Structure 1
Amino acid sequence: MRSVWAVVAAVGLSGCGGELVEHEQVAVVDSVGQEIVGGVEARPNSHPWIVSLQEYGSHFCGGSLIRVSANVEASDIVLTAAHCVYDGNSGLTATAGAHNLDSPPAGQVTVQAARTVYHPRYDPDTTLHDIAIVKLERPIRFSSTIQPILLPAAGAQVADGAEGTVAGWGLTREGGYDTSSILMQVGVPVVPHRTVAEAYAREGIDIDKAAMFGAGYTQGGKDSCQGDSGGPFVFKNGSGKYVQQGIVSFGVGCARAGLPGIYTRVSNYIGWIRTQVQTLSSVR
């Protein structure tokens, strides 16, 4: 995630018509008690929806592949953070099916971005409404190692204390210089809004409950970091399937005590996401 990552920094759509959490999805990570800061490798292919956004072959942000049609096993839409694409990205590509970016597996796919659209009310000063869509030049077909993530129902809330998993190729420590070539993961619990709001108020930052939520440990030590921005924060639902509730957005430093990471609340934007999919996607 960040260093108020420059207030830059923080899991897809099953069907545009309405059922957002009912399609099948592959099994993922069995254990989530692991950190990105500090460095623990994710199990290969355990996050089949995660995407590496790159400029001229260099990773800079994460994203997630979302389903755009219930009838087509392919997608040309990636969900990410607005701050990742706000300044425009020439040479932007999306890589799916990746694990070790330095050693691409046979099933890895890279597609050029055709267009980026960030939320019209995104505020780069406050990082409010930190959500964006990347439209790809051609659809990426789903496979055993590439799958879309489910999105929550509109307005759904994540319970305080619920533990989710965030993954990415970002820095493994605050102040580091190089992002990880290996996909890393961390499990962190949702922190009550009042606790998050009070902690960030002391930093002069307002946390909007409808649009954001925080996750992390009181003692710190586990978090996402720069380069993880835009990536998915997923939780298991009652059916044992994973749903993207958050997008890595921002924070103060990485894994600092008393300052949980801040995530865009995906359920607040389901209507906007549907509209963008219907407008932009060529998959029918």
Structure 2
Amino acid sequence: MSGVVVAVSLLGCGGSELERAEVDATGRMDQAIVGGNEARPGSHPWIISLQQYGSHFCGGSLIRVGNRAESDIVLTAAHCIYDGTSRLTAVAGAHDLASPSSTQQVVSATKTVYHPAYNPDTTVNDIAVVVLAKPIKFSATVQPVCLPWDTVSAGSPSCGQSSSMRPTLVSQPSLAEPPRNPVGLVPGEASVPAENTMMIAAGWGLTSEGGAAYSNVLLQVGVPIVGSAALARQYSSQGITIFPEAMLGAGYAQGGKDSCQGDSGGPLVAKALPGYTLYGITSFGIGCARAGSPGVYTRVSNYRSWINAQIANNSRVQ
């Protein structure tokens, strides 16, 4: 599947802002992690590699659909599936895509549904679900991510957990866990993360703007939330409108760390209660890891009702 070009004044990967007055933005379907490091295998058990004809093109997140230890619904970005999904498969439990593990699960998709108000020109409402032919079974390396406003009570199913998560690493400096969130988010209050809250993006995308190949291994990067007003100012200078209720930004003012092409549709999470929670879906940006151009993510909390409706209408897990 080719990259989705968003018809707004936003510079895609490659080229200088001075080279043209009107520039294009590429949705992050073809955009990997820049400035991050290799994740510990199994530390992002909810992440999905969406593939066509066996090749990775976008990320996704496995979500819980009921009380059983399985799910047939994956959340991703609308721009990932907008141009068609022939021979689409979802790969769960993956780490090194070049060396599949025995615990990896590969399931075909039967249906995709993008938000009815998705606008490919403005990238607003950039959210979709992938409905699988059969459920993906939960295991030590495959678990659903929590959604904003999820709660936990005695006997209720869990989410956002990983048996391999540890706060620090000494013996393997090249591998890392998602950094612990210093804010200590809780359900409800966490539906809109505060400015500077540390988030974690992950994926198999490019490791530099204009790179030639995706990463074989799962990479992650920590990026802080950018306030809605600051995000809107930074993008308005490029002629791009930010919709605060539907989008959130994350990145450093100096750049250097970001998601990139190939990470589209993948998760932006933070440690909260009851577990790691999905606050954003990788959507778009100006290039990759540029100063003053934070990544833009779909604000998941705005779509909880829509997600619930898709589960009710499409999931066959009882």
Distance 1:39 1:243, change over 3 A: closer
Alignment of 1:83-232 (within 5 A): 83-153=79-149, 156-232=191-267
Match of 2:43 in 1: 46
Match of 1:281 in 2: 315
Residues 48 and 145 in structure 1, CA contact (< 8 A), matched pair in contact too: yes
TM superposition score normalised by structure 1: 0.88
Unaligned runs of 5+ in 1: 11-34
Structure with higher Rg: it is: 2
Residues 236 and 242 in structure 1, CA contact (< 8 A), matched pair in contact too: yes
Paired letter, 2:82: Y
Match of 2:298 in 1: 264
3-state DSSP class of the match of 1:237?
coil
> How far off its partner does 1:8 sit?
1.0
Distance 1:243 1:40 in 2: 21
Distance 1:38 1:174 in 2: 11
**Quick one: which of 55, 58, 61 aligns to 1:61?**
58
- Is the counterpart of residue 252 in structure 1 residue 286 in structure 2? yes
3-state DSSP class of the match of 1:41?
strand
Runs of 4+ displaced beyond 6 Å: none
> How far off its partner does 1:278 sit?
0.4
What RMSD in Å do the two structures reach over aligned CA positions?
Answer: 1.7
Q: Show CA shifts across 1:203-243 (max 9, x none).
A: 1110000000100000000000000000000011155x210
TM superposition score normalised by structure 2: 0.78
Q: Show CA shifts across 1:139-173 (max 9, x none).
A: 01100100000000279211111001010000000
Q: Show CA shifts across 1:1-50 (max 9, x none).
A: 9965644128xxxxxxxxxxxxxxxxxxxxxxxx9214511111000000
Distance 2:292 2:35 in 1: 18
Distance 1:4 1:147 in 2: 33
Q: How many residues align?
A: 258
Unaligned runs of 5+ in 2: 5-10, 14-24, 150-187
Q: Percent identity?
A: 59
Q: Show CA shifts across 1:164-210 (max 9, x none).
A: 10100000000011010100000000011111101100111100000
Match of 2:173 in 1: none
Residues 7 and 125 in structure 1, CA contact (< 8 A), matched pair in contact too: no
Residues 76 and 138 in structure 1, CA contact (< 8 A), matched pair in contact too: yes
